[in-house]
């Protein structure tokens, strides 16, 4: 699925993303919806995390008004978001709900746990880690 976000009047993009309708600056929040360890790389400085893979990115703060819209968002999440890291509200989207940035915040606990486990493994089992990396 292509993501074509262009500026200009009345231009429409895929997945409900649209350009501002006037010349005023508009801040539109987006949610990544597929944050996971494999989508966070480390920059050349060895410390800065860089978020990658924006294929499942969607507009945040989407008010679900119909059952059809709810099923559409649920199907998109099933196709584009990794199941182990998908926020609970994306498994069963309810009519009347609002899908927002909380989906990305929810998964941060997994990233934190993943990072802590990797640091602990490296500290306590460095030879084993190095042997896995050199295989």
Structurally, at CATH architecture level, domain 29-134 sits in Orthogonal Bundle (1.10)
Is the pLDDT higher at 37 or at 127? Answer: 37
Q: What is the pLDDT of residue 7?
A: 39
pLDDT, average across residues 33-46 = 85
Helices 126-134 and 102-124 pack at an angle, to 10 degrees, of 110
Provide the annotated active-site residues.
34
DSSP 3-state of 84:
helix
CA within 13 Å, CB half, 28 = 16
Q: Which residues contact 2 (CB under 8 A, 6 or more apart)?
A: 14
Q: Does 115 have pLDDT greater than 60?
A: yes
103 sits in which H/E element: helix 102-124
In the chain, where the domains are located = 29-134
User: Residue 72, class by beta-carbon neighbours within 10 Å (0-12 exposed, 13-18 middle, 19+ buried)?
Assistant: middle
Q: What is the pLDDT of residue 66?
A: 97
Average pLDDT, the chain: 76
pLDDT, average across residues 105-116 = 74
Q: Which two tokens stand for residue 78?
A: 């099933």
18-36 residue pLDDT tens? 555 566 788 888 988 888 8
- Tell me the backbone φ, ψ of residue 46, rounded to 5 degrees: 80, 0
């Amino acid at each position: 699925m292509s993501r074509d976000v262009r500026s200009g009047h009345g231009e429409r993009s895929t997945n409900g993303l649209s350009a501002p309708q006037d010349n005023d600056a508009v801040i539109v929040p987006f949610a990544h919806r597929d944050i996971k360890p494999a989508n966070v790389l480390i920059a050349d400085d060895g410390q800065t995390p860089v978020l990658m893979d924006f294929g499942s990115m969607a507009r945040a703060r989407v008010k679900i008004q119909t059952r059809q819209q709810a099923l559409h968002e649920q199907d998109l999440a099933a196709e584009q978001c990794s199941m182990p890291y998908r926020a609970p509200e994306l498994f069963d989207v309810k009519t009347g709900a609002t899908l927002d940035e909380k989906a990305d915040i929810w998964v941060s606990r997994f990233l934190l746990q993943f990072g802590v486990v990797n640091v602990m493994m490296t500290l306590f089992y460095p030879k084993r880690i190095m042997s896995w990396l050199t295989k």
